[in-house]
Amino acid sequence: MLTQATALLKATAKGAFWQAFEKFPSIMKGLVHPVTSDSTEEEYPWLAYAPGVREMGGARIKRHVPELSWTIKNKKWENTVSVAYETWKFAKLNQIQALLANLGSKARAYPDKLTSSLLNNGNSAGFTCYDTQLFFDTDHSDPGAAYTTNQSNLLTVASATGTVWSDVELAGAINTGISSLMGFLDGDGDPVFMDPDSKPLVQCAPDIYTRINTIRIAAQLTGGVSNPAQGAFNLVANPWLSATGGTDKFYMFNVSGAHKPFILQTAEPVSLEDDIGGDNDFNTKDKSFGSFGYYNVGYGDWRYAVKVLTS
């Protein structure tokens, strides 16, 4: 039975959840290609590249490109909280709003958390992309393509200590990442375009953020050296990235292309449900609210991401 008190509870919970959900910022903006799914899993036939333009002499020549594919399976995700009888009975709205707002923020943030796990594990066994290589690897190539020279999106840049870059070395590491993103070639040997008006995006763990941000804004580095990376990139601290752990590293992305390094596949977007009037409500008089979503993330195009670490 929906009483005045439970009606107020539902309205308060719904409003707090969705307001927090909509306001929570995504740190994966520009990095994820959204796909609507209508099955338990989706197979992605990957056309590795489009052939280059050729002079037309006589009839057209139909050129086939290697078709590669991989599958992303949807998964169910939930997060459920209980509002105690005393809390909703006496309309403790501030407590209810805080609890449901936190639930909404976590529901919104979870796809970013999942995508961050793909970054953390991108050069670990089992975390492969469409070309069967690890997502971050030194020998990417499109099987069956015209251009088969190996390309690397796992970069190492030397530091004097072997673990931590000086500011001059860090600026050089950032420029190395930019150069790699600008130099990737597709399976036909044509360059992968990076819009010169779109700055590459760097993501890093919070423990190295201040040092990288200094490189982003400083005109001069130690010893009065001019900073070649000043203003050349955008920067986001990603709290789900593994800390450097004594060995410097960061990730850099080309956000200007139609392809993206990650896929967010959604079969059922996030919803908010409750058990008002159900068995738990009857047995304990507590009211439960839970978020639910049916989606998953996966790797997209490796050419739009590089991992840079010390050596």
**Which residue did the predictor score with more confidence, 147 or 122?**
122
Burial class (CB in 10 A: 0-12, 13-18, 19+), 223: exposed
Residue 247 lies in a domain: yes
Q: Please tell me which residue, 147 or 232, carries the higher pLDDT value.
A: 232
> Residue 296: what are its φ and ψ, rounded to 5°?
-165, 165
Burial 99-123 (b: 16+ CB within 10 A, else e): bbbebbbebbbbbbebbbebbbebb
Nearest to 112 by CA among 70, 71, 77, 69: 77
Among 287, 288, 274, 272, residue whose Cα is nearest residue 16: 272
Closest CA to 183 of 158, 154, 153: 153
pLDDT at 49 over 90: no
Beta-carbon count within 10 A of 271 CB: 12
Q: What is the torsion angle, in degrees rounded to the nearest 10, for the CA atoms of residue 22, residue 26, residue 30 and residue 35?
A: -60
Residue 282 forms part of a structural domain? no
In a domain, 177, yes or no: yes
pLDDT for the residue 283: 74
Q: What is the pLDDT of residues 56-99, one digit of tens each?
A: 888 888 777 666 678 999 999 999 999 988 888 887 889 999 99
- Residue 16 tokens read as 């707090």
What confidence score (pLDDT) does residue 256 get?
Answer: 92
pTM of the model: 0.91
Q: How confident is the model at residue 266 (pLDDT cuts 50, 70, 90)?
A: very high
* C-alpha span between 108 and 25 (Å, rounded): 8
Please report which helix (H) or strand (E) contains residue 70, including its range. strand 67-73
Asked if residue 237 is part of any domain, the answer here is: yes
Q: How far apart are CA 292 and CA 268, in angstroms?
A: 9
Relative to beta strand 305-310, strand 154-157 is: parallel
In a domain, 156, yes or no: yes
What is residue 188's predicted lDDT score, i.e. its pLDDT? Answer: 84
Q: Is residue 153 part of a domain?
A: yes
Average pLDDT of span 23-31: 95
Query: Is pLDDT above 80 for 51?
Result: no
Mean pLDDT for the stretch of residues 199-219 = 98
Section 163-169 average pLDDT: 97
pLDDT tens digits, residue range 92-143? Answer: 889 999 999 999 999 999 999 999 999 999 999 989 998 899 999 999 988 7
pLDDT at residue 68 in the model: 67
Structural domain count of the chain = 1
Query: Residue 5: what pLDDT?
Result: 80
Instruction: Give pLDDT, residue 187.
Output: 84
Say if CB 87 and CB 13 are below 8 A apart: no
pLDDT above 70 for 182: yes
Least confident of 185-199, 248-262, 283-297: 185-199
Domain that holds residue 169: 126-261+302-310
pLDDT recorded at residue 155: 98
What's the pLDDT at 81?
94
- Residue 85: inside a domain, yes or no? no
